[in-house]
Amino acid sequence: MPSAPGGPRLLLRRLREIMAEPVGAQDRLDKIVILIAANMVAEVCSVYVMRGDGVLELFATEGLNREAVHLTTMRAGEGLVGQIAATAEPLALSDAQSHPAFSYKPETGEEIYHAFLGVPLLRAGNTLGVLVVQNRTYRVYTEEEIEALQTTAMVLAEMLASGELQALAPVETGIALRRPVHQKGLALADGVGLGHVVLHEPRVVVKNLIAENVEAELKRLEDAIAEVRATIDELIERGDVAHHGEHREVLETFRMFAHDQGWLRRMREAVTSGLTAEAAVERVQSDNRARMMRQTDPYLRERLHDLDDLANRLLHRLVGRDLVAGHGLLPDNAILVARSMGPAALLDYDRSRLRGLVLEEGGPTSHIAIVARALGIPAVGEVENVTSLAEQGDAIIVDGAAGEVQIRPNPDVEAAYAEKARLRAKRQEQYLKLRDVPAVTKDGVEVTLQLNAGLLVDLPHLAETGAAGVGLFRTELQFMIAERMPSASEQQSLYSAVYAAAGDLPVTFRTLDIGGDKILPYMQAVEEENPALGWRAIRIGLDRPGLLRAQVRALLKAASGRPLKIMFPMVATCNEFVRAKALVERERTHLANHGHPLPSDLKLGVMLEIPSLLFQLREICTLADFVSVGSNDLMQFLFAIDRENRRVADRFDPLSAPMLRALKHVAEEARAANCQATICGEIGGRPLEAMALIGLGFRALSMSPAAIGPVKAMLLELQAGKVAELIRDELEHDGGGDTLRPKLLRFAETHGIPV
Ligand code: PEP
Ligand code: MG
């Protein structure tokens, strides 16, 4: 078996010389294939480059017909080369032609070659092309040779990334590295943002690939590994994170990988073959990323992500940079791209420069999504591999309504979105004109439109939208974005600040709604089979009255001399509400006894989110000052559909008879008892649903800030009496569980109501 003259180290050194030569791109590539063929003792060496249209094109060859260069093409998946591109894995065969995927391209004249070794050109897990060597004989390529060709491929991938080969590709396609990518994800926060990628945790771009001194590089690698290991050990041993389940688990996984012999060996081998320490980490990481992008098992994917994180730490250590982006250096029109991100991290960025947020993880009820909505930043979550597909500074568009992302968009796509953004801005202007118009229907029904909020950053929306107050202040958000449990005085100062920001407008504070999907990272998690039905919200409040008492006291103190409205989440029985009321009463007495100024008026309400309360309406309406329907949870429990589970979350329509009847019952009983009934779930903010709610008799809706304009525009054109009649008839005569949506839509259309 022929052995490589000089081995990979010599090859890398020669490659570096060729890279530095002042020649054109094609000449350089031609020299490189000759060099590789000679070094690998192969008759053929070819480079196929992935074009922007996903087709692989022969860019250079030694050994095959030169005429085939820039003529021979294949799709990803087609032939052996296409297969390597599709799987992102090397392929070594002693007889290529007997392989079922072999696809014969007569113009290349390759029929005389038998042995075949191909490796993908990978960068950050993306396949940019394929590098192939072929031999006439039926030879077997050794592990070392495969490894050496992969190392060489890395240098070629960097050449591609530098943009040098762009000019050799057809103008209309370019090379894949810069191709436009359209990704679908999950809509998290409405709005359209156009801008440039800012990676929250920027990848280290390894510039120095080829080692001057292999021994010194090996030592750098070992030192960096030892340092990273020590940091992980230290983090694990440090008390403050030691008990928080998930966090600890991730660190334990890190520790396991940091000692993984296979991983370490591959990096050491890459250095021995002539790469710098950072290039070796990158080389192994790139393979790992390629696997990650193709892995469908969520558990294995998560582990590959962990390994990727660890490699990132190592890279940062080697090139000596901090892990987090310099927040001060945001360009204008920044679109943040991250795998995941905590809400506190988002708040650290300069809001005035942020145009959007794209995440690989993060569902609609994640904390980051809540904060993005509060800040009015268009956001899309669950965008697969976006941190690998997008490069720092790339043009990018976030469509937070459709849940889509366009990376490096074509000019026509960009123009279409710019138009969309302009139209939205125009519509917003029109809504702004409605700001001071009273929310009264055509037939004179007044509807109170309020905001849902949870952070101080939400409060400026009051003035912007002309909302009549805050109908739901989710107090748990302050707890969810904090590093540790907010103290009583921190709570009080937030509530005081909310009062100050709301001016004369009323605010309804909801007590802590934690548990279920709302997890406090610093609170010991309770293992539950079914957290949505578990120990949460008012249940925790009543079982651990210390927490609820402290919050109620903070609210009472913050109100000092002003009216206060408090409501309790997830109430299932009248008795729970009675106990919560008693707790508030005790706190009020306590403060009064200590000479504190009390609220000028105190109203206590329940959230109706659990169906059991539908069957205690008469009683609860006499006990409570108001009832606020949390339709998000009421839908979840009425239809037994997990609101977080995309498979089922949209399976049933809130505009179907069961939900509408439940809501009608609430409106009627509340009116009979002279108890105010409001809606504060998402349905109140959708114009068609809001129209139905008004028809059912609701006169107060609380919604996200962006919904106020559209809902007001709808009700200004509405005859409340007419829609009430339609719904009454439908629910009486047809209520087989079908949705009333089409009929309501037709009604809106015929009456010129914008929904
Ligand atoms: C609801 O359940 O409808 C609600 C308003 O509460 P949250 O969405 O915060 O659970
Ligand atoms: Mg709820």
Please tell me the distance between residue 634's alpha carbon and the centre of ligand 2 in angstroms: 8
User: CB-based burial of residue 525 (10 Å sphere; 0-12 exposed, 13-18 middle, 19+ buried)?
Assistant: middle
Angle between helices 277-294 and 143-161 in degrees, nearest 10: 90
Tokens (6 digits) for 222: 């070992």
What pLDDT sits at residue 559? 97
Ligand 1 interacting residues, C-beta cut-off 6 A: 472, 474, 513, 609, 630-633, 680-681
Specify the ligand 1 atom closest to the Cα of 631. Answer: 3
Quickly count helices (H) and strands (E) in the chain.
27, 22
Please write the tens of the pLDDT for every residue from 504-514.
999 999 999 99
Q: How far is the CA of 447 from the centre of ligand 2 (A)?
A: 22
Q: How far is the CA of 630 from the centre of ligand 1 (A)?
A: 5
Q: Catalytic one among 45, 367, 621, 675?
A: 367
pLDDT for the residue numbered 340: 84
Q: How far is the CA of 682 from the centre of ligand 1 (A)?
A: 8
Helix axes 7-20, 143-161, angle to 10 degrees: 20
Greatest Cα pair distance, the chain, in angstroms, is 99
Which of helix, strand or coil describes residue 578?
A: helix
Are 358 and 380 a contacting pair, CB within 8 Å? yes
pLDDT value of position 564: 98
Q: Which residue bears the tokens 């990978």?
A: 122
The residues spanned by each domain of the chain are 7-178, 181-202+326-410, 214-319, 440-750
Are 478 and 491 contacting, i.e. CB atoms less than 8 angstroms apart? yes
Q: Which atom of ligand 1 is nearest to the CA of 365?
A: 8
Which residues in the chain land under pLDDT 70?
Answer: 1-6, 238-248, 250, 321-328, 365, 367, 517, 646, 734-737
Query: Which of 511, 607, 629, 666 is the best mutation target for the ligand 1 pocket, counting ligand atoms within 8 Å of the beta carbon and taking the most?
Result: 607
What's the alpha-carbon Rg for the chain, to the nearest Å? 31
pLDDT of amino acid 216: 95
d(CA 114, CA 134): 7
Cβ atoms 678, 701 nearer than 8 A: yes
Closest C-alpha among 632, 539, 610, 525 to residue 246? 525
**Spatial distance between the Cα atoms of 161 and 625, rounded to a whole number of angstroms:** 65
What is the per-residue pLDDT across 520-575, written as a single tens digit (0 to 9) for each?
A: 878 777 788 898 899 999 999 999 999 999 999 999 999 999 999 999 999 999 99
Enclosing H/E stretch for 509: strand 507-510
Residue with tokens 């090996």: 218
CATH of 214-319 among 3.40.50.970, 1.10.274.10, 3.30.470.10, 3.10.50.40: 1.10.274.10
- Both tokens assigned to 387: 């941190």
Between the alpha carbon of residue 510 and those of residues 15, 454, 572, 578, the distances in Å are 66, 9, 16, 16
| DSSP for 233-263, written as a single string | HHHHHSHHHHT-HHHHHHHHHHHHHHT-HHH
Mutate to test the pocket of ligand 1, among 450, 633, 636 (most ligand atoms within 8 A of CB): 633
Which amino acid residue places its CA nearest to atom 4 of ligand 1? 630
Cross-strand pairs, 398? 193, 405
CA of 569 to the centre of ligand 2 (A): 7
Protein residues with C-beta less than 5 angstroms from the ion ligand 2 = 609, 630, 633
Q: State which ligand 1 atom lies nearest to the alpha carbon of 609.
A: 2
Best substitution site from 474, 641, 642 to test ligand 1's pocket, by max atoms within 8 Å of Cβ?
474
Report CA-CA distances (Å) from 616 to 396, 457, 546, 670, 674.
52, 37, 28, 11, 16
**What atom of ligand 1 comes closest to residue 636's alpha carbon?**
2
Instruction: Name the residue with the closest Cα to ligand 1, atom 6.
Output: 630
DSSP 599: P
Strand partners, 160: none
Residue nearest to atom 9 of ligand 1 (CA): 474
Helical H segments across 40-125, by residue range: 79-87
Distance CA 205, CA 392 (A): 10
Measured distance CA(377)–CA(535) in Å, rounded: 33
Per-residue confidence (pLDDT) for residue 324, from 0 to 100: 47
User: 446-449: long-range contacts at Cβ-Cβ below 8 A with a sequence spacing of 24 or more?
Assistant: 446/699, 447/694, 447/699, 447/700, 447/701, 447/715, 448/678, 448/699, 448/700, 448/701, 449/701, 449/702, 449/703, 449/708, 449/711, 449/712
Residue 45 appears among annotated catalytic residues:
no
Ligand with an atom nearest the CA of residue 634 = 1
Q: Is 680 a catalytic residue?
A: yes
Of all protein residues, whose CA lies closest to atom 1 belonging to ligand 1? 630
For residues 127 and 111, what is the distance between their CA atoms, to the nearest angstrom?
A: 26
Asked whether the CA dihedral 26, 30, 33, 39 is positive or negative, the reply is negative
Residue type, 411: P
Number of C-alpha atoms within 13 angstroms, CB side, residue 32?
A: 28
Look at the domain 440-750 and name its fold: TIM Barrel (3.20.20)
Contact 652, 636 (CB under 8 A): no
110 and 64 Cβ atoms separated by less than 8 Å: yes
- Compute the Cα dihedral for 570, 572, 573, 574 and give only its sign: positive
Closest atom of ligand 1 relative to the 630 alpha carbon: 3
Cα distance between residue 368 and residue 481, in whole Å = 9
Q: How far is the CA of 531 from the centre of ligand 1 (A)?
A: 15
First to last CA, the chain: 75
Structure-block tokens of residue 106: 């007569």
The predicted model scores a pTM of 0.71
What six digits make up the tokens of 527? 């293992």
What is the reported pLDDT for 2? Answer: 47
Half-sphere exposure of 692 (CA within 13 A, CB side): 29
Q: Is 485 exposed, middle or buried (0-12, 13-18, 19+ CB in 10 A)?
A: middle
685 DSSP 8-state letter: G
CATH 3.30.450.40 matches 7-178: yes
Rounded to whole angstroms, the Cα distance separating 509 from 496 reads: 12
CATH (one of 2.40.50.40, 1.10.10.410, 3.50.30.10, 3.30.420.40) for 181-202+326-410: 3.50.30.10
On whether the CB atoms of residues 23 and 14 are closer than 8 A, the answer is no
d(CA 505, CA 509): 13
pLDDT for res 241:
47
